[in-house]
Structure 1
Amino acid sequence: MKRQSNEWRHYRLPRKSKVCQNPSNVKVMVILVYDCDGVILTLTIPRQQTVSVQYYCSFLEHTLRPALRKKWRHFLQNPPIILQDNARPHAAQAVADLFD
């Protein structure tokens, strides 16, 4: 605020300049899948797209599953353990049904 930047100073000293930060207009959301060996898959979400339950389920079925099968053939018999946060799309019942 202007009032907070007021201060007493000697008339010969230069004034302090205020730094104005402009918010960034570009925000990128990325889904990153990795394991102990490294990155398996990265997916950049299109602009103006939100990650809903339907989007996340389609990502798991149509993008992640083929990438895992391509990289590791033994995942066909033993499914991997997927650790994810508690975001609403991740904790939805449709995602839990997909893992069963």
Structure 2
Amino acid sequence: MPTLLLLALSNIFMTTAWYWHLRGGMEKPLLTVILISWAIAFVEYCLAVPANRIGFAHGWTAGQLKIAQEAIALVIFGIFMVTVLGEPLHWRHAAAFLCIMAGVGFLFVGRT
């Protein structure tokens, strides 16, 4: 559970670092946006690295950690896309999410 919580928190910061400037930040100079994004991403790394270490120490494979991170990233991005960027969800988003979740299932089948 700590792995999933830390991965979720890290994804909130990474999604913000990558996409915050698309809403109200487009007038800022690119270098400023990059530096602000790096500062936000630093927090993401401070959460993601321990998440991966904890997960690996508890028997998760690198593939399981990565696919879990991707699934979490899609959920976080979907929420961000709707709430911050004001974009609507479409059936294609749900279909893509289901494909990723199938990948999660495949990597976790038989995991002890």
Q: TM-score, normalised by structure 1?
A: 0.33
Name the one with the larger strand percent.
1
Of structures 1 and 2, the larger Rg is shown by: 1
Task: Identify the structure with bigger relative contact order (alpha carbons < 8 Å, sequence gap 6+).
Answer: 2
Alignment TM-score, normalising by the size of structure 2: 0.31
Larger helix fraction of residues: 2
